[in-house]
Amino acid sequence: MRTGAAAATTGCFHETALYDSDDGLLAVAVPFVEGGLAAGEPTIVTLTDGNAALVRDALGGDRGVTFVPAADQYTRPATAIRTYRELFASLVAEGAHQIRVVGDVPHPGAGGRWEEWVRYEAAVNVAFDAFPVWGLCPYDTRLVGDDVLADVLATHPHIATGDGHRANAAYADPVEVVRRRPPAPLPDGEPTTSLHDPTPADARRAAMAAAVHAGLDDERIDDLLLVASELVTNAIVHGARPVTVDVWARADAVVLAVGDAGPGPGDPFAGLLDPGDAIGGRGLWMAHQVCAEITHHPTGNGDGSGFTVSALIANRT
């Protein structure tokens, strides 16, 4: 049986907590963790180092809690979803009735671009719903602005406070949240190279030239070739010609934008969730596994046609 606020529910119980002090964080996080330990539920803390230290001190040690550094878990939204799902599946197979996770999802002021992570916060409502997961996502109101705060409230159906738990009236359909995001701007400036209707091999060669120019590390070059090839293949196979590729070589980074004349994927979470055996979507998913910063841009003139994906591949600093 599930325990705590999520007791009578099934699937993912996605909750946020807004705080403005260390004590405010601990007032929510510590009872959450203690409750999990008392019930014998797998309990995972995926907080930033500072917040994890606060919780560990308050608990008086690890006490059987799994501590995972947020920087390791939240490298890329699509990877975080995949690895969490694998972990949840194995814990359920071992007999867990509920899994508790408290995590610092990256956001402005705490190590991440919101454009990518707001899609994550919306998508997990769907992606984790196959598992009895109680996910708690605390946000520090000293760091986040009103616009991010509004998105946090729109993507979490539940709110925890020091006084208890309540349903969140501001929660919105996650599909709609993603659909109505304003289109992100494409990269600035003239591209270093532009290709019209290239083959994936042409795109790999252009990407390779840019990678050498940018001084990318070998591992990142592999990532770039992989992303260029998969995105162009995806555009040719599932989009519509003409397919365009623009490449910007910068110091220690390459930005790649692949566009086509099609309407883009119908699924607003395309790229974030493993498409399994579905036709299409694998190329986008692969690119999302590799890139921390990858954005979908509708590029049409209101007629629903035109779709571009831009991806940044940068040396690790």
16 binds another protein (CB under 8 A): no
Question: Which letter, b or e, does each residue of 240-276 get, where b requires 16 or more Cβ atoms within 10 Å of its Cβ?
Answer: eeebbbbbbbbeebbbbbbbbbbebbebbbbbbbebe
Question: Residue 10 CB, nearest distance to another protein (Å)?
Answer: 27
Q: What angle do CA 148, 17, 127 make, to 5 degrees?
A: 75
Stretch that binds another protein, among 129-137, 229-237, 258-266, 304-312 (CB under 8 A): 229-237
Instruction: State the residue for tokens 């520090």.
Output: 140
Residue with Cβ nearer another protein (23 or 86): 86
Beta strands in 236-305 (DSSP E): 244-250, 253-260, 293-298
- Window of 26-34, 122-130, 134-142, 214-222 that interacts with another protein by CB under 8 A: 214-222
CA quadruple 40, 59, 128, 314: dihedral sign: negative
Least separation in angstroms between residue 285's CB and another protein is: 9
DSSP 10: -
Hey, which residues does 138 pair with through a beta bridge?
Answer: 17
Identify the residue among 145, 237, 241, 242 touching another protein (CB under 8 A). Answer: 237
Of 298, 196, 183, 292, the closest CA to residue 247 belongs to 196
Among 96, 159, 253, 290, binds another protein (CB under 8 A): 290
Q: From the list 49, 64, 219, 304, which residue makes contact with another protein (rule: CB under 8 A)?
A: 219
Q: Which amino acid, residue 227?
A: V
Q: Is residue 292 close enough to count as binding another protein by CB under 8 A?
A: no
In the range 152-211, which residues lie near another protein by CB under 8 A? 199-201, 204
Map the footprint of another protein across residues 258-287, applying CB under 8 A.
282-283, 286
For the bound state, the minimum distance from the C-beta of residue 170 to another protein, rounded and expressed in Å, comes to: 36
Shortest distance (Å) from residue 132 CB to another protein: 24
Joined together, the tokens standing for residue 105 give: 């999802």
Contact positions vs another protein (CB under 8 A)? 199-201, 204, 218-219, 222-223, 225-226, 229-230, 233, 237, 282-283, 286, 289-290
